[in-house]
Protein backbone atom coordinates (compact mmCIF):
# COMPACT_ATOMS: atom_id res chain seq x y z
CA UNK A 1 0.00 0.00 0.00
CA UNK A 2 1.33 3.44 -0.89
CA UNK A 3 2.03 5.89 1.97
CA UNK A 4 1.85 9.69 1.59
CA UNK A 5 4.09 11.69 3.94
CA UNK A 6 2.02 14.27 5.91
CA UNK A 7 4.99 16.67 5.98
CA UNK A 8 6.59 16.70 2.51
CA UNK A 9 3.78 14.87 0.64
CA UNK A 10 6.23 12.32 -0.76
CA UNK A 11 4.42 9.17 -1.93
CA UNK A 12 6.21 6.03 -0.90
CA UNK A 13 5.40 3.14 -3.19
CA UNK A 14 4.80 -0.29 -1.78
CA UNK A 15 7.98 -2.39 -1.44
CA UNK A 16 10.16 0.64 -2.25
CA UNK A 17 13.06 1.95 -0.12
CA UNK A 18 13.77 -1.27 1.80
CA UNK A 19 16.64 0.46 3.61
CA UNK A 20 14.21 2.83 5.39
CA UNK A 21 11.77 1.60 8.08
CA UNK A 22 8.11 1.55 7.04
CA UNK A 23 7.24 4.11 9.73
CA UNK A 24 9.75 6.74 8.49
CA UNK A 25 9.58 8.93 5.38
CA UNK A 26 12.55 8.20 3.08
CA UNK A 27 12.49 11.79 1.76
CA UNK A 28 12.35 14.09 4.83
CA UNK A 29 13.08 11.40 7.47
CA UNK A 30 10.18 12.26 9.77
CA UNK A 31 8.31 9.59 11.70
CA UNK A 32 4.74 9.57 10.40
CA UNK A 33 3.05 8.89 13.74
CA UNK A 34 5.14 11.40 15.70
CA UNK A 35 4.58 14.12 13.14
CA UNK A 36 0.81 13.69 13.35
CA UNK A 37 0.96 13.76 17.17
CA UNK A 38 3.02 16.97 17.11
CA UNK A 39 0.55 18.62 14.74
CA UNK A 40 -2.36 17.55 16.95
CA UNK A 41 -0.58 18.86 20.03
CA UNK A 42 0.02 22.26 18.38
CA UNK A 43 -3.62 22.48 17.27
CA UNK A 44 -4.82 21.75 20.81
CA UNK A 45 -2.51 24.46 22.14
CA UNK A 46 -3.87 26.97 19.62
CA UNK A 47 -7.42 26.21 20.74
CA UNK A 48 -6.49 26.74 24.40
CA UNK A 49 -4.85 30.10 23.58
CA UNK A 50 -7.91 31.19 21.59
CA UNK A 51 -10.23 30.27 24.49
CA UNK A 52 -8.10 32.22 26.96
CA UNK A 53 -8.08 35.26 24.72
CA UNK A 54 -11.85 35.11 24.39
CA UNK A 55 -12.22 34.83 28.17
CA UNK A 56 -9.88 37.78 28.73
CA UNK A 57 -11.81 39.96 26.28
CA UNK A 58 -15.08 39.06 28.00
CA UNK A 59 -13.87 40.34 31.38
CA UNK A 60 -14.51 44.04 31.82
CA UNK A 61 -11.38 46.08 32.62
CA UNK A 62 -11.13 47.35 36.19
CA UNK A 63 -12.17 50.91 36.81
CA UNK A 64 -9.32 53.37 37.05
CA UNK A 65 -9.06 55.13 40.41
CA UNK A 66 -10.12 58.72 40.40
CA UNK A 67 -7.25 61.19 40.40
CA UNK A 68 -7.56 64.28 42.50
CA UNK A 69 -7.48 67.46 40.35
CA UNK A 70 -4.31 69.50 40.59
CA UNK A 71 -6.26 72.55 41.70
CA UNK A 72 -7.41 70.67 44.82
CA UNK A 73 -3.92 69.48 45.81
CA UNK A 74 -2.58 70.71 49.12
CA UNK A 75 0.17 73.38 48.80
CA UNK A 76 3.70 72.14 49.51
CA UNK A 77 6.10 73.50 52.11
CA UNK A 78 7.97 75.30 49.34
CA UNK A 79 4.77 76.98 48.18
CA UNK A 80 4.01 78.21 51.69
CA UNK A 81 7.58 79.51 52.16
CA UNK A 82 7.59 81.50 48.91
CA UNK A 83 4.05 82.73 49.42
CA UNK A 84 4.93 84.11 52.86
CA UNK A 85 8.01 85.81 51.42
CA UNK A 86 6.09 87.38 48.53
CA UNK A 87 3.23 88.48 50.78
CA UNK A 88 5.53 91.26 51.99
CA UNK A 89 5.22 92.72 48.50
CA UNK A 90 1.43 92.18 48.41
CA UNK A 91 1.86 89.34 45.95
CA UNK A 92 0.18 86.08 46.92
CA UNK A 93 0.82 83.02 44.75
CA UNK A 94 0.11 80.33 47.31
CA UNK A 95 -3.02 78.99 45.68
CA UNK A 96 -1.20 78.64 42.36
CA UNK A 97 1.84 76.73 43.66
CA UNK A 98 1.41 72.97 44.19
CA UNK A 99 3.73 69.92 44.01
CA UNK A 100 2.59 69.50 40.44
CA UNK A 101 3.37 73.04 39.32
CA UNK A 102 6.42 73.65 37.20
CA UNK A 103 6.42 77.31 38.28
CA UNK A 104 7.91 76.32 41.63
CA UNK A 105 11.35 75.56 40.20
CA UNK A 106 11.53 78.85 38.27
CA UNK A 107 10.56 80.99 41.27
CA UNK A 108 12.99 79.17 43.56
CA UNK A 109 16.00 79.82 41.33
CA UNK A 110 15.09 83.48 40.75
CA UNK A 111 14.75 84.31 44.45
CA UNK A 112 17.64 82.05 45.45
CA UNK A 113 19.92 83.98 43.09
CA UNK A 114 18.88 87.51 44.10
CA UNK A 115 18.13 87.14 47.80
CA UNK A 116 21.73 86.75 48.98
CA UNK A 117 20.58 85.41 52.34
CA UNK A 118 22.08 82.09 53.41
CA UNK A 119 19.19 81.28 55.69
CA UNK A 120 16.67 81.74 52.91
CA UNK A 121 18.77 79.56 50.61
CA UNK A 122 18.85 76.84 53.27
CA UNK A 123 15.08 76.99 53.66
CA UNK A 124 14.64 76.88 49.88
CA UNK A 125 16.85 73.79 49.55
CA UNK A 126 14.92 72.01 52.29
CA UNK A 127 11.60 72.96 50.73
CA UNK A 128 12.74 71.74 47.28
CA UNK A 129 13.66 68.35 48.70
CA UNK A 130 10.28 68.07 50.42
CA UNK A 131 8.49 69.14 47.26
CA UNK A 132 10.27 66.60 45.06
CA UNK A 133 9.56 63.87 47.62
CA UNK A 134 5.86 64.73 47.69
CA UNK A 135 5.72 64.96 43.90
CA UNK A 136 7.37 61.57 43.48
CA UNK A 137 4.94 59.98 45.95
CA UNK A 138 2.02 61.56 44.11
CA UNK A 139 3.18 60.31 40.72
CA UNK A 140 3.87 56.84 42.15
CA UNK A 141 0.30 56.58 43.43
CA UNK A 142 -1.03 57.67 40.03
CA UNK A 143 1.09 55.15 38.13
CA UNK A 144 0.15 52.31 40.48
CA UNK A 145 -3.52 53.23 40.01
CA UNK A 146 -3.37 52.81 36.23
CA UNK A 147 -1.53 49.47 36.39
CA UNK A 148 2.08 50.63 36.12
CA UNK A 149 4.56 49.06 38.54
CA UNK A 150 7.41 51.22 39.79
CA UNK A 151 10.74 49.39 39.58
CA UNK A 152 13.51 50.44 41.92
CA UNK A 153 16.78 51.23 40.16
CA UNK A 154 19.58 48.83 40.90
CA UNK A 155 22.52 50.40 42.69
CA UNK A 156 24.90 47.81 41.28
CA UNK A 157 24.80 46.11 37.89
CA UNK A 158 26.41 42.69 37.69
CA UNK A 159 28.40 41.93 34.58
CA UNK A 160 27.51 39.00 32.34
CA UNK A 161 29.38 35.88 33.48
CA UNK A 162 30.20 32.81 31.39
CA UNK A 163 31.61 29.58 32.82
CA UNK A 164 34.27 27.72 30.81
CA UNK A 165 32.44 24.92 28.98
CA UNK A 166 33.39 22.34 26.36
CA UNK A 167 31.09 19.91 24.54
CA UNK A 168 32.86 16.63 23.83
CA UNK A 169 29.94 14.75 22.26
CA UNK A 170 26.52 15.35 20.71
CA UNK A 171 24.39 12.69 19.09
CA UNK A 172 20.83 12.01 18.00
CA UNK A 173 19.08 9.30 20.01
CA UNK A 174 16.27 7.68 18.05
CA UNK A 175 13.75 5.93 20.28
CA UNK A 176 11.51 4.54 17.51
CA UNK A 177 7.73 4.95 17.15
CA UNK A 178 7.00 3.64 20.66
CA UNK A 179 8.17 6.84 22.39
CA UNK A 180 6.65 10.25 21.74
CA UNK A 181 9.90 12.19 21.23
CA UNK A 182 13.46 11.32 20.24
CA UNK A 183 16.29 13.15 22.03
CA UNK A 184 19.55 14.95 21.35
CA UNK A 185 22.10 13.84 23.96
CA UNK A 186 25.14 15.83 25.11
CA UNK A 187 28.36 15.26 27.03
CA UNK A 188 29.93 18.46 28.38
CA UNK A 189 32.71 19.55 30.73
CA UNK A 190 32.08 22.61 32.94
CA UNK A 191 34.61 24.41 35.15
CA UNK A 192 34.13 26.42 38.33
CA UNK A 193 36.41 29.44 37.68
CA UNK A 194 36.02 30.90 41.19
CA UNK A 195 38.27 30.50 44.22
CA UNK A 196 35.46 29.19 46.45
CA UNK A 197 33.13 26.20 46.31
CA UNK A 198 29.78 26.43 44.53
CA UNK A 199 26.74 24.72 46.08
CA UNK A 200 24.40 25.20 43.10
CA UNK A 201 23.93 27.45 40.07
CA UNK A 202 21.51 28.14 37.24
CA UNK A 203 22.50 29.16 33.73
CA UNK A 204 21.56 29.15 30.03
CA UNK A 205 23.38 27.04 27.45
CA UNK A 206 23.70 29.00 24.19
CA UNK A 207 24.49 27.13 20.95
CA UNK A 208 25.78 29.18 17.98
CA UNK A 209 26.96 28.27 14.49
CA UNK A 210 30.30 29.01 12.85
CA UNK A 211 29.12 32.57 12.02
CA UNK A 212 28.08 33.18 15.63
CA UNK A 213 24.38 33.00 14.75
CA UNK A 214 22.33 31.65 17.63
CA UNK A 215 20.85 28.18 17.06
CA UNK A 216 19.14 27.40 20.36
CA UNK A 217 19.08 28.11 24.10
CA UNK A 218 18.56 25.58 26.90
CA UNK A 219 17.98 26.30 30.58
CA UNK A 220 20.53 24.57 32.81
CA UNK A 221 20.49 23.89 36.57
CA UNK A 222 23.18 22.15 38.62
CA UNK A 223 22.54 21.34 42.30
CA UNK A 224 25.69 19.47 43.28
CA UNK A 225 28.73 21.02 44.95
CA UNK A 226 31.61 21.99 42.65
CA UNK A 227 34.91 22.70 44.38
CA UNK A 228 36.86 25.86 43.58
CA UNK A 229 38.67 25.51 40.26
CA UNK A 230 37.29 22.01 39.59
CA UNK A 231 35.88 20.73 36.28
CA UNK A 232 32.97 18.28 36.23
CA UNK A 233 31.41 16.17 33.48
CA UNK A 234 27.72 16.60 32.69
CA UNK A 235 25.61 14.29 30.55
CA UNK A 236 22.13 15.41 29.58
CA UNK A 237 19.58 15.47 26.79
CA UNK A 238 16.76 17.50 25.27
CA UNK A 239 13.55 16.36 23.60
CA UNK A 240 13.77 16.59 19.83
CA UNK A 241 10.84 18.11 17.93
CA UNK A 242 11.14 17.35 14.25
CA UNK A 243 8.86 20.29 13.39
CA UNK A 244 11.11 22.97 14.97
CA UNK A 245 13.81 24.30 12.67
CA UNK A 246 16.10 25.09 15.64
CA UNK A 247 15.99 21.45 16.76
CA UNK A 248 16.81 20.25 13.24
CA UNK A 249 19.71 22.69 12.92
CA UNK A 250 21.14 21.61 16.28
CA UNK A 251 20.78 17.94 15.37
CA UNK A 252 22.70 18.16 12.09
CA UNK A 253 25.32 20.74 13.17
CA UNK A 254 28.86 19.40 13.45
CA UNK A 255 30.84 19.91 16.66
CA UNK A 256 33.69 21.65 14.84
CA UNK A 257 31.22 24.14 13.30
CA UNK A 258 29.59 25.07 16.62
CA UNK A 259 30.36 27.26 19.60
CA UNK A 260 28.82 26.80 23.04
CA UNK A 261 28.55 29.21 25.98
CA UNK A 262 27.24 28.82 29.53
CA UNK A 263 25.72 32.13 30.62
CA UNK A 264 25.34 32.16 34.42
CA UNK A 265 22.15 33.56 35.99
CA UNK A 266 22.54 32.80 39.71
CA UNK A 267 25.20 31.21 41.95
CA UNK A 268 24.79 29.91 45.51
CA UNK A 269 28.14 29.37 47.19
CA UNK A 270 28.95 26.72 49.79
CA UNK A 271 29.35 29.43 52.46
CA UNK A 272 25.71 30.49 52.00
CA UNK A 273 26.31 33.66 49.99
CA UNK A 274 24.74 34.15 46.55
CA UNK A 275 25.10 36.28 43.44
CA UNK A 276 22.53 37.22 40.80
CA UNK A 277 23.70 38.15 37.29
CA UNK A 278 22.02 39.79 34.30
pLDDT, tens only, 87-98: 655 444 444 445
What's the mean pLDDT in 248-273? Answer: 94
Verify that 205 and 107 share a domain, yes or no. no
How many Å apart are CA 30 and CA 157, to the nearest integer? Answer: 46
Alpha helix (H) residue ranges in 116-236:
118-145
Helix (H, G, I), strand (E, B) or coil at 28: coil
The number of folded domains in the chain is 3
Angle at 266 between CA 168 and CA 226, to 5 degrees: 50
Tens digits of per-residue pLDDT, 145-202?
A: 444 344 343 334 467 889 999 999 998 988 755 555 789 999 999 999 999 999 999 9
What is the model's pTM?
0.48
Q: Tell me the CATH number at 179.
A: 2.60.40
Q: What is the pLDDT of residue 189?
A: 96
Element (H, E) at 64: none
Find, among 276, 253, 254, 252, the residue nearest to 265 by Cα: 276
Is residue 124 in a domain? yes
Sequence-ordered strand ranges (E) for the chain: 3-4, 11-12, 161-163, 165-173, 182-191, 198-208, 214-222, 231-240, 259-269, 274-276
Average pLDDT, the chain: 76
Verify that 53 and 74 share a domain, yes or no. no
| More confidently predicted of 265 and 49 | 265
Verify that 17 and 50 share a domain, yes or no. yes
Amino acid sequence: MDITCPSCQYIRKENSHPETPIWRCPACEIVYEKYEKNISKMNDLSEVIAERQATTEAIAPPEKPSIKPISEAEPSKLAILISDYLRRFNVIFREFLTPKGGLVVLVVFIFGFFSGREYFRYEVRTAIQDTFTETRKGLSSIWSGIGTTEVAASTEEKEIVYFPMEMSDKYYNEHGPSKYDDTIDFTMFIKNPYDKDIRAFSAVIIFTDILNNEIKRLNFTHKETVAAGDTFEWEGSMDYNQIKSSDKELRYAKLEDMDIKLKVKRIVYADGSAEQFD
